[in-house]
Amino acid sequence: MQAIILAAGMGRRLRELTEGNTKCMLEVNGVRLIDRFINKLSSLDLTKIVIVVGYERENLMDYVRQTYPALNVEFVENPVYDRTNNIYSLWLAKDYLMSDDTLLLESDLIFEDGVIDCALESAYPNIALVAKYEPWMDGTMICKDADDNIVTFIPKSAFDYADTGLYYKTVNIYKFSREFSSQRYLPFLEAYIKAMGNNEYYEQVLRVMTLIDNCEIKAVDIADRKWYEIDDVQDLRIAETIFADDELRLEKIQHSFGGYWRYQSLVDFCYLVNPYFPSPKMVYELKANFDNLLRQYPSGMGVNSMLAARYFGIRQEYVCVGNGAAELIKSLMENFTGRLGVTYPTFEEYPNRLLKSSVEVFRPLNKDFSYTAEDLISYFDDKDISALLLVNPDNPSGNFISRDGLEVLAEWSVRKNLRFVVDESFVDFSENGCHNTLLDNAFLSRFPNICVMKSISKSYGVPGLRLGVLASSDTELISRMKKDVAIWNINSFAEYYMQIFNKYEADYVKSCESFRSERDIFFRELSEVDFIRVIPSQANYFLCEITGRFTAKQLTRELLSSFNILIKDCSSKKGFENSGEYVRIAIRDRKDNSALVTALRSL
């Protein structure tokens, strides 16, 4: 058996990264793609490696010859690489195809060794390696039957999102027997080129063969083995993450701050949402209006603040709507003067907007990081602060102060002439849920020094919409912030979500009830893991102390590398210095929570 690598293309979408070198000379985490190919292929029992070259071919040929002088590598040159596509590159290698069984690979791939093994270990003489469709995939799809026969090739023009559950993506690695190439494939390839020209793809020939006859190609699923196709700079970044070593992969994923749908099968226990909302019916309504919303401008702040006011049952002049709470936090902190009282550990977006000298820190002296309204008053009463921040329930501790305690703090803050900022993004998950909110006209009117922040992403399960609200009866502040944010800071999808929410409010209340039941179950299960101490929480996450066997970083890395599960390592958060090893684990649905518990028990 031989290997043929198609490496003639120009890689235009990689722009400056392929100026002066073809795509397979790209480095992924310091290793060139061509080196990954050759290092794997040279370990196999192959008669030769054939590389079809074109763009910047001299660089590639010189590099391979100098780096692998003892290896039997032969080259086929495509002099018209800029006017043809890979169908012509493969045609130029036809003599090789007719002479031996062949592994056919495209040079813009990166894959783990086990992917090639799938092809070699398969008893089928002619195969296409395939992977179950994932949203990041583009290009040729196939459908296969229970006997691994390729029923049809799906070109881009025939792609249907309604059928993606049936689709497999070709990995662009094939195994052809010499007989198949000589007697079946090459005659079709020649006829197709004569009819359609050289600027086509060789997989189109396989598609034609399946349409008019049994093409004898079997589809072999590579299952969960890692691979990626690198066409542009974003693909390169993702590939660097997927194929990094365990520590670097964790670092790269953490520093992407979301977008985890790009990483196949990653289960996110780091970011915090509601697993039971929105309801399927609400999602269907959003989908049904997608086309209209996509093509229409959203309303300005006037309409959106009215929708948010209706959403929460408060006065319009009390509400500013943000592109996520993050936009509002930025604006609020820029409208702030003086020093801010903060409890660590907490959500750091607020204090990070200020100079370190402008932050007065209270640190609870217990291993649960718990505190009461009285603790805050006792510490901050004689401190030089202009405002007090309370995240309630707190993040990551899950500490919760009841409505009665908040009233005590509100009255104290009035006596001290302080701004009192309460972030209640997780309050709906607390016992008695929505009854604990401060988004209440009477309360806001009574305490004009209070600002109530709420991230709609967290408890309503729509982080992709980027929605948040700030409410206060300090209408002067609200007015300034409305002018501070962009006129169209909310997109049409977020606006429509606010418009229809009230139809689904009963579903939301039920989702929070379901969540609290699942939290109780998950708490009991996590508590049975012998190296974890789970801290009770009124939010949608648990702060957990790692009591043995691992550091927080080691456990986070192990769960990601072995189980593709991401949790939050709290080591770098302020407030955990010299306090032990802690992680934060989001609460998801029964299926995901059970999978995490099973993974932890296996460790």
Contact 414, 446 (CB under 8 A): no
- Over the chain, what is the mean pLDDT? 92
Q: What is the pLDDT of residue 432?
A: 87
Q: In this structure, are 195 and 169 located in the same domain?
A: yes
Token pair recorded at residue 538: 């009124």
Q: How far apart are CA 267 and CA 274, in angstroms?
A: 14
Q: What is the pLDDT of residue 202?
A: 84
Q: In this structure, are 269 and 287 located in the same domain?
A: no
Give the sign of the dihedral formed by CA 282, CA 283, CA 289, CA 294. positive
Q: In this structure, are 458 and 587 located in the same domain?
A: no
Kindly state the DSSP code that residue 269 receives in the 8-state scheme.
Answer: -
| Size of the chain, expressed as the number of residues it contains | 603
Kindly state the DSSP code that residue 214 receives in the 8-state scheme.
Answer: -
CA distances from 263 to 7, 135, 141, 172 (A): 26, 10, 19, 19
The model's pLDDT over 366-408, given as tens digits with 9 standing for 90+, comes to 999 999 999 999 999 999 999 999 999 999 999 999 999 999 9
State phi, psi for 157 to the nearest 5 degrees. -65, -25
Residue 15 has pLDDT above 80, yes or no: no
Task: State the CB neighbour count (10 A cutoff) for residue 398.
Answer: 25
Q: What is the pLDDT of residue 555?
A: 97
- Look up the domain containing 369 and give its range: 280-504
Q: What is the pLDDT of residue 534?
A: 98
Burial per residue of 36-67, b for 16 or more beta-carbon CB atoms within 10 angstroms, e otherwise: bbbebbeeeebebbbbbbbbbbeebeebbeee
Burial, 71: exposed, middle or buried (Cβ in 10 Å; 0-12, 13-18, 19+)?
middle
The model's pLDDT over 471-506, given as tens digits with 9 standing for 90+, comes to 999 999 999 999 999 888 999 999 999 999 999 999
Contact 595, 548 (CB under 8 A): no
Range with the lowest mean pLDDT among 138-152, 188-202, 217-231, 254-268?
Answer: 254-268
Question: Of 179, 211, 239, at which residue does a domain stop?
Answer: 239
Angle at 463 between CA 459 and CA 469, to 5 degrees: 65
Task: State the CB neighbour count (10 A cutoff) for residue 432.
Answer: 12
State phi, psi for 359 to the nearest 5 degrees. -120, 125
Q: What is the pLDDT of residue 137?
A: 81
Q: What is the pLDDT of residue 232?
A: 85
Q: In this structure, are 496 and 517 located in the same domain?
A: no
Q: In this structure, are 69 and 184 located in the same domain?
A: yes
Contact residues for 453 (Cβ-Cβ < 8 A; gap 6+): 325, 328, 329, 332, 421, 422, 423, 424, 425, 468, 469, 470
Q: How far apart are CA 597 and CA 586, in angstroms?
A: 12
Q: How far apart are CA 231 and CA 543, in angstroms?
A: 40
pTM score, whole prediction: 0.83
Q: In this structure, are 339 and 227 located in the same domain?
A: no
Rounded mean pLDDT, 7-21: 80
The model's pLDDT over 78-110, given as tens digits with 9 standing for 90+, comes to 999 888 888 889 999 999 999 999 999 999 999
Token pair recorded at residue 86: 């890979």
The model's pLDDT over 62-76, given as tens digits with 9 standing for 90+, comes to 999 999 998 999 999
Amino acid code (one letter) for 150: I
Q: In this structure, are 147 and 251 located in the same domain?
A: no
Rounded mean pLDDT, 139-144: 86
Q: What is the pLDDT of residue 134?
A: 84
* CATH code (residue 224): 3.90.550.10
Determine how β-strand 568-569 pairs with β-strand 582-586: antiparallel
Rounded mean pLDDT, 133-158: 85
CA distances from 313 to 79, 267, 357, 421 (A): 70, 35, 38, 20
Residue 546 has pLDDT above 80, yes or no: yes
Contact residues for 556 (Cβ-Cβ < 8 A; gap 6+): 250, 566, 567, 568, 569, 583
CA distances from 341 to 258, 406, 481, 597 (A): 29, 16, 22, 37
Q: In this structure, are 452 and 586 located in the same domain?
A: no
Q: In this structure, are 217 and 169 located in the same domain?
A: yes
Find, among 393, 396, 458, 469, the residue nearest to 432 by Cα: 393
Find, among 526, 536, 516, the residue nearest to 275 by Cα: 516
Question: Of 445, 474, 504, at which residue does a domain stop?
Answer: 504
Q: How far apart are CA 352 and CA 373, in angstroms?
A: 23
Q: In this structure, are 362 and 225 located in the same domain?
A: no
Q: What is the pLDDT of residue 156?
A: 79
Q: How far apart are CA 127 and CA 162, in angstroms?
A: 27
Q: What is the pLDDT of residue 235?
A: 86
What 3 state SS string does 215-264 have? CCCEEEECCCCCEEECCCHHHHHHHHHHCCCHHHHHHHHHCCCCCHHHCC
Q: In this structure, are 67 and 194 located in the same domain?
A: yes
Question: Of 504, 527, 549, at which residue does a domain stop?
Answer: 504
Kindly state the DSSP code that residue 434 receives in the 8-state scheme.
Answer: G
What 3 state SS string does 104-140 have? EEECCEEECHHHHHHHHHCCCCCEEEEEECCCCCCCC
* CATH code (residue 555): 3.90.1150.10
The total of structural domains in the chain comes to 3
Find, among 465, 467, 401, 463, the residue nearest to 438 by Cα: 401
* CATH code (residue 334): 3.40.640.10
Q: What is the pLDDT of residue 17?
A: 76
Q: What is the pLDDT of residue 592?
A: 96
Q: How far apart are CA 268 and CA 536, in angstroms?
A: 21
Q: What is the pLDDT of residue 392?
A: 97
CA distances from 69 to 42, 61, 72, 363, 597 (A): 12, 11, 8, 64, 51
Q: In this structure, are 499 and 511 located in the same domain?
A: no
Task: State the CB neighbour count (10 A cutoff) for residue 487.
Answer: 12
Residue 251 has pLDDT above 80, yes or no: yes
Q: What is the pLDDT of residue 498?
A: 94
Band (281; pLDDT cuts 50, 70, 90): very high
Amino acid code (one letter) for 216: E
The model's pLDDT over 419-449, given as tens digits with 9 standing for 90+, comes to 999 999 999 999 988 789 999 999 999 999 9
